[in-house]
Structure 1
Amino acid sequence: MSPHLRNGRLLLFVALIFILVNAEVPQPAVEESIRLDDALLAEPRPTPGRSIFFHETSCYDAKNKNLNILKLTARQVCAIESAALHNPNFQVFVLFVDRKYSLVVDPNVGNRSIQQPLFDAILSYSNVHLRRLNLWRYAAGTPMEKWLREGNLFRSRYLVSHISDFLRYLTLFRYGGLYLDMDVVVLRRMEDIPPNYTGAESDTFLAAGIMNLAASGFGHQIAASCLHDFQTNFDGNVWGQNGPEVITRVAQQICGTKNISVMQTNRKRCLGFKVFGRGAFYAVTSDKWLNFFNPHKLEETLARTKDSYAVHVWNSQSEKQPIKIGSTCAYAKYAEKNCPRAYHAAGEYF
Structure 2
Amino acid sequence: MLKHLKILTFVLCVAAISFFTKTFLNQNSTYIVKYLISKGILPITEKDYYQIFKSENIPSYNISPSDVLQQGNGIFFLETTDRMEEPSLVLCSIESAARLYPDRPVVFFMKGLDDIVNVDDEKKARERYPTLSFYKNIYIFPLRLDKVFADTPLLAWYEKVDPKRENYWTNVKADACRIALIWKYGGIYMDTDVISIRPIPEDNFLAAEHATSMSNTVFGLSPHHNLMWEFMENFVQNYRGNVWGFQGPTLFTRVVKKHCGVLNFTSVDHLKCANVSYFHPERFYPMQYGSWGKYYEVWKDLPTFNNSYGLHLWNYMNKGRKFMMVGSNTLVEHLYQQYCPSTYESILKNVTSHH
State whether TM-score is above 0.5: yes
User: 2 CA distance for matches of 1:229 and 1:42?
Assistant: 26
Identity %: 25
| Counterpart pick for 1:299 among 292, 297, 301 | 301
Alignment of 1:89-104 (within 5 A): 89-98=103-112, 101=113
Tell me, yes or no, if structure 1 residue 258 matches structure 2 residue 262: yes
Displacement of 1:292 in angstroms is 0.4
CA RMSD of aligned residues (A): 2.7
What residue is the counterpart of 1:345 in the other structure? 346
Superimposed CA distance per residue, residues 252-280 of structure 1 (whole angstroms, 9 cap, x where no aligned partner): 1221x124538987845x12211111111
What residue is the counterpart of 1:21 in the other structure? none
User: Which amino acid in the other structure matches residue 120 of structure 1?
Assistant: P
Contact 2:149/2:177, CA 8 A, preserved across alignment: no
Contact 1:49/1:178, CA 8 A, preserved across alignment: no
What residue is the counterpart of 2:282 in the other structure? 279
User: 1 CA distance for matches of 2:70 and 2:149?
Assistant: 19
Displacement of 1:198 in angstroms is 1.7
Larger radius of gyration: 1
| Counterpart pick for 1:178 among 188, 194, 210 | 188
Displacement of 1:137 in angstroms is 2.0
Superimposed CA distance per residue, residues 18-72 of structure 1 (whole angstroms, 9 cap, x where no aligned partner): xxxxxxxxxxxxxxxxxxx9x983574213431000000122xxxxxxx4xx321
User: Which amino acid in the other structure matches residue 111 of structure 2?
Assistant: V
What residue is the counterpart of 2:102 in the other structure? 88
What residue is the counterpart of 2:325 in the other structure? 324
Alpha-carbon distance change, 308 to 299 in structure 1, aligned in 2, over 3 angstroms: same
Long gaps (5+) in structure 1 = 1-36, 60-66, 105-114
| Counterpart pick for 2:161 among 147, 151, 176 | 151
What residue is the counterpart of 1:198 in the other structure? 206
User: 1 CA distance for matches of 2:195 and 2:282?
Assistant: 14
Alpha-carbon distance change, 189 to 120 in structure 1, aligned in 2, over 3 angstroms: same
Contact 1:153/1:236, CA 8 A, preserved across alignment: no
TM-score by length of 1: 0.74
Bigger Cα displacement from structure 2, 313-322 vs 239-248: 313-322
Superimposed CA distance per residue, residues 83-118 of structure 1 (whole angstroms, 9 cap, x where no aligned partner): 0000011100000124xx4569xxxxxxxxxx9997
TM-score by length of 2: 0.73
User: Which amino acid in the other structure matches residue 204 of structure 2?
Assistant: N
Alpha-carbon distance change, 291 to 133 in structure 1, aligned in 2, over 3 angstroms: same
User: Which amino acid in the other structure matches residue 151 of structure 2?
Assistant: G
Partner SS for 2:142: strand
Alignment of 1:186-225 (within 5 A): 186-190=196-200, 193-216=201-224, 220-225=225-230
| Counterpart pick for 2:238 among 223, 233, 240 | 233
Partner SS for 1:308: coil
| Counterpart pick for 2:91 among 57, 77, 81 | 77
